[in-house]
Chain A
């Protein structure tokens, strides 16, 4: 008896605008409580919402990006509705959202699972405002919670999928792909720790051939790792419930990362009647062909287009080009490094190799890199002109990362004496010494063991303190040993 898992994902994407969706307060993260809450955000009597143009543009961008540039899925006329309920972080007592006529209907996101492509269909995407935050700790007054409305009114695009995913892996692949899209097109900064990208997973199970099971919603998953674990736990839980002869109750649940389990929320929201109706303070949003044209023209090429361009213009392999176009910052960095003078293949190798490794080691995002494209290019050019060996260059990168000499490549080379040995006669002398001191290896090499040569190269490198060019050393050794 096989179980089928059915998953749908709702994602709240925080749009990257300067001001809120219906008020002029700033959306910058991390400000002091209520320092970015305008009179409108506080829902003071007499205040009214005014739409932010940029939020609309973000929605249009998204609609185009998930429909291969075809604007058929963008509603030319959409309506804002009030979702009525009481909660202290919801100042108006209603959330401005879109119900019957959302700004985007349809579209899709393609994911790769086990090497195969799968299409996840989007039901809709709509604009809405975020609520504020409640703080429960760190207050002197006992028995209270503190409400911070800085986040209230931040523009969100809620993206909803059809229940197309069949495993936690697929769900995570979708979430990552969606994350890639919204950051690529520049509508979201993708910072999950700051809450810019939050997923709710609707999970249900059913025995093969049966009708859809009751689903539970796991809310506010703000990490891919947690999403995977939470869904897996929930699936196991549901199967157990049914296996024990029980019924899965429709619930909203939260994931507890410490315990690795999902828990039902203590909320009265079950069976809440939101009494949606079109907001009379906002007129219908009309998007014209002109609006769409303008946004379309301003959009950056898709990752696929950029990858193709990199392969064509820079002569890169598909593999290299794909890695470099995984996000816009990396792609940009590559192009800046190359335009500053580095050779394309070298740049690709080093960015996808050494740089990626450094970022990983320091648990950093490329956006946080401490080495500018200019400096990085400079480093690569010193390899190209033979000033330093690859190994020294690796060491240099570490020093640049740490900020020594403000990352000035030439200053660092000088300071640490990393200049590659250019004096051939000096190298030759050392090679002669090594040959003389390693008769066994010489014999082995001459009798066909390539590895013996590496050992000799290693000895020479050691004797030169790593400053000789290994390729050059290799050549000189072969010459002297009479092999070619």
Chain B
């Protein structure tokens, strides 16, 4: 199964990644190789089998624990400490156009 470069470009866009035209060919081959491996899944008959999202679902009914609704003070200085650009406590990004 050869991986379509157009599909690749679309995926890259969805993933917010640039694809250098020079690498497109190699990447296409890599992806073809990966999907060659993955396609083995298609041959498996899984009729009547439910997907397993959480590994321990098979031994216990894994359900969500909730916490009490209590607000805790945050630490804004620390939260913003690694920000590339800030102003007055706001994260700055190039102008967003709606």
Direct touching of A and B (C-beta under 8 Å):
yes
**Contact partner of A145 among B14, B68, B94, CB < 8 A?**
B94
Sample (27) of A-B pairs whose CB atoms are under 8 Å apart: A24-B72, A25-B71, A27-B71, A33-B88, A34-B80, A34-B90, A35-B74, A35-B76, A35-B89, A37-B76, A39-B75, A39-B79, A44-B79, A50-B66, A52-B67, A53-B66, A53-B67, A135-B90, A139-B87, A139-B90, A145-B94, A147-B92, A148-B90, A266-B97, A275-B14, A283-B64, A286-B63
- Check if B64 sits within 8 Å of A147, measured CB to CB: no
Contact check, A17 vs B69: say whether CB atoms are below 8 A apart: yes
Query: How many Å lie between the Cα of A5 and that of B77 in the bound state?
Result: 51
Q: Which residue of A lies closest to B55 (CB)?
A: A280
Chain B nearest Cβ from A273, distance in angstroms: 6
**Separation in Å of the B19 CB from the closest CB of chain A?**
16
| CB-CB nearest in chain B for A26 | B71
Tell me the smallest distance from the CB of B76 to a CB of chain A, in Å: 5
Closest-by-CB residue of A relative to B69 is A54
A51 neighbours in B (Cβ, 8 Å): 64-67
Q: Is A470 an interface residue (CB 8 A)?
A: no
Across the interface, do B74 and A283 meet the contact criterion of CB distance under 8 Å?
no
Beyond A26-B74, A144-B85, list 13 extra A-B contacts (CB 8 Å). Answer: A24-B72, A34-B89, A34-B91, A39-B75, A39-B78, A42-B79, A52-B69, A135-B90, A140-B87, A145-B92, A266-B98, A283-B64, A283-B65
Chain A residues positioned under 8 Å from B68 (CB to CB): 53-54
Closest to A274 in B: B14
Q: Are A144 and B66 in contact (CB under 8 A)?
A: no
Closest chain A residue, CB of each to CB of B97: A266
Residue of B nearest to A39 (CB): B79
Residues B64 and A146 in contact, CB atoms below 8 Å apart: no
List 6 tightest A-B contacts by C-beta distance, closest first: A146-B90, A54-B69, A26-B71, A53-B66, A24-B72, A147-B91
Q: How far is the CB of B96 from chain A (nearest CB, A)?
A: 4
Interface presence of A36 (CB below 8 A) = yes
- A contact face: mostly helix, strand, loop, or mixed: loop
The complex places the Cα of A226 from the Cα of B64 at a distance, in Å, of 40
- Whether A143 contacts B94 by the Cβ 8 Å rule is yes
Q: Is the CB of B76 within 8 A of A273?
A: no
Classify chain B: how many residues form its interface, as a range.
35 or more
Scoring B70, B76, B91 by chain A CB atoms within 10 A of each residue's CB, the highest score goes to B91
Residue among A25, A143, A145, A273 with most chain B CB within 10 A: A145
Counted as pairs of residues, one from A and one from B, with CB atoms less than 8 Å apart, the total is: 133
Most A-side CB within 10 Å, residue of B66, B75, B95: B66
Interface residues in chain B, defined as those with a beta carbon under 8 Å from any beta carbon in chain A: 14, 16, 53-54, 61-76, 78-80, 85, 87-98
User: Which residues of A does B touch, CB under 8 Å?
Assistant: 17-19, 24-28, 32-39, 41-42, 44, 50-56, 86, 88, 134-136, 139-141, 143-149, 254, 265-267, 273, 275, 278, 280, 282-286
A285 to chain B, nearest CB (A): 5
Bound-state CA distance A135–B86 (Å) is 13
- Which B residues are in CB contact (< 8 Å) with A19? 69-72
Given the known interface contacts A18-B69, A146-B90, the answer about A285 and B63 at a Cβ–Cβ threshold of 8 Å is yes
B55 CB to closest chain A CB (Å) equals 10
Distance of A86 Cα from B12 Cα, bound (Å): 13
Structural contact, A33 and B64, CB atoms closer than 8 A: no
Q: Which of A25, A54, A146 makes the CB contact (< 8 A) with B72? A: A25
Q: Give the one of A18, A25, A42 with max B CB within 10 A.
A: A42
Chain B residue with Cβ nearest A155: B69
A147-B90 CB under 8 A given contacts A24-B72, A53-B66: yes
Q: Which residues of A lie under 8 Å from residue B78 when comparing CB positions?
A: 39
CA distance A144 to B88 in the complex (A): 13
CA–CA, A283 to B94, complex, Å?
Answer: 36
> Do B87 and A146 touch across chains, with their CB atoms under 8 A apart?
yes
CB contacts (< 8 Å) of A265 on chain B: these are: 98
Residue of A nearest to B13 (CB): A268
Give A164 Cβ to nearest chain B Cβ, in Å: 30
Can you name the residue of chain A whose Cβ is closest to the Cβ of B15?
A86
Given contacts A18-B70, A136-B96, contact A284 B91 (CB under 8 A): no
Given contacts A19-B71, A37-B79, A39-B79, contact A141 B64 (CB under 8 A): no
CA separation between A72 and B72, bound complex, in Å? 35
Min Cβ gap A72→B in Å is 21
Nearest A-chain residue to B56, judged by Cβ:
A283
* Closest A residue, CB atoms, query B90: A146
- Which of A24, A28, A148 gathers most chain B CB within 10 Å? A24
Contact of B71 among A18, A32, A34 (CB under 8 A): A18
Q: Give the residues in chain B near A35, CB-CB below 8 Å.
A: 74, 76, 89
Q: Are A283 and B71 in contact (CB under 8 A)?
A: no
A418 to B18, CA, bound (A): 80
A130 CB, min distance to chain B CBs, angstroms: 16
Contacts of A283 in B (CB 8 A): 54, 62-65
Q: How far is the CB of B81 from chain A (nearest CB, A)?
A: 10
Complexed CA–CA distance, A139 and B74 (Å): 24
Chain A residues whose CB sits within 8 angstroms of the CB of B72 once the complex forms: 19, 24-26, 38
